[in-house]
Amino acid sequence: MRGTLDVDAEVAALNDLSRDDLAHRWRKVYGYPPPKGVRRDFLLRAAAWHLQVKRVGGLSPDARRLLRPAIINAKKQLVVTESGGGIREADIRVEEVKPRKRLSPGMRLIREWNGRSHVVDVLEEGFAFEGRLHKSLTAIAQQITGTHWSGPRFFGL
């Protein structure tokens, strides 16, 4: 609880910074100046977001994966002329997005853990493991390991 209060106080303190101070923070974080014409409010929100990410953590891997196609699409549309001194289309590197493997009913997942093979059958209504129906792979991974694991990661998906 105390950590949350500290972050809240730090975010509130950002309100006291001038636009120039917020632009300086932007340069420090991103390594380049903020876009021309960006308002103080936007810089304030960016600084608050970055501070919270640093203290509490950022987006979950699932959220990042869902956002990646939108980011790639935005980068493809980004075209700035050379005379503007900005990014040229040729400077943009688009990384390939690997879609998560889709599970189809009838598939069988096998994972060895602590010298024992564990078999999970994919069904229309969930996953069958040791004669019981489970709604998620994560529940099965937790049952196998005794700790919280990402089910898709545990099974190598």
Summarize the confidence of residues 10-21 as an average pLDDT.
88
Residue with structure tokens 């937790």?
142
Position 90 pLDDT exceeds 50: no
List the single range of 5-19, 33-47, 97-111 with lowest mean pLDDT. 97-111
Which residues touch 119 (CB under 8 Å, ≥6 apart)?
108, 109, 110, 129
Identity of the residue numbered 137: L
Q: How confident is the model at residue 111 (pLDDT cuts 50, 70, 90)?
A: confident
pLDDT single digits (tens) 53-87: 888 777 788 888 888 888 877 777 665 444 455 54
- In the sheet where 132-134 sits, what is the strand order? 108-113, 116-123, 126-129, 132-134
